[in-house]
Amino acid sequence: MVQWSESERTIINGIFSHLDYDDLGPKAFSRCLIVYPWTQRYFSSFGNLHNAEAIMGNANVAAHGIKVLHGLDLGLKHMDDIMGAYAELSSLHSEKLHVDPDNFKLLSDCITIVVAAKLGKAFTPETQAAFHKFLAVVVSALGKQYH
């Protein structure tokens, strides 16, 4: 089980309590599709993803970005059992969606970048460390049920 210090819990809860999901979800997800274009392989039904402009203007991308960012709420609500909390989603990503778990890290890097851009100087090294730890645990949990 992952141990969280009081300071880490405070930082992580603080980030999420001020998070604008409708803004950052689309930004993080579209950035992932642009910076790591092979991730587009899972979204052939989303329509036009031919270039950065198309991706950033795509309504399916935006909606999915919001959905995925809210997926982090599960970890936030169950910080003391993130593995357990994501077991079902992990199976879904493995057995139904067939997503290579290496992609989770790519998306989490993009989430980090857009949160950093939003918070600016407030995204201190300590804030980055706590957020990175949280995302790393979620990413690990999502990969747990793959076999």
Partner 1 sequence: MTTLTAKDKQTVKAFWAKVSGKSEDIGASAVARMLVVYPQTKTYFSHWQDQSPNSPAARKHGKTVMMGVGDAVTKIDDLKEGLKELSQLHAFTLRVDPANFKILSHNILVVMAVMFPTDFTPEVHVSLDKFLAAVSLALAEKYR
CA angle 59, 101, 6 (to 5 degrees): 90
Does 91 sit near partner 1 (CB under 8 A)?
no
Does 41 sit near partner 1 (CB under 8 A)?
no
Site string for partner 1, 99-128 (x = CB under 8 A): ----------x--xxx-xxxxxx-x-xx-x
Does 12 sit near partner 1 (CB under 8 A)?
no
Residues 127-146 that bind partner 1 (CB under 8 A): 128-129, 132
Is-contact 19 11, C-beta < 8 A?
Answer: no
Q: Contacting partner 1 (CB under 8 A), which of 2, 54, 56, 79?
A: 56
Does 42 sit near partner 1 (CB under 8 A)?
no
Does 40 sit near partner 1 (CB under 8 A)?
no
Binding residues for partner 1, rule CB under 8 A, total 23
**Long-range contacts formed by 115-124: CB under 8 A, 24+ apart:** 115/15, 115/19, 115/24, 118/20, 118/23, 118/24, 119/15
In angstroms, give the least distance from the CB of 50 to partner 1. Answer: 14
Residue 87 or 137 with smaller CB distance to partner 1: 137
Task: Report how far residue 43's alpha carbon sits from residue 31's, in angstroms, rounded to the nearest whole number.
Answer: 14
DSSP conformation letters of 23-47? HHHHHHHHHHHHHSGGGGGG-GGG-
Residue 97 or 129 with smaller CB distance to partner 1: 129
Residue 119 or 137 with smaller CB distance to partner 1: 119
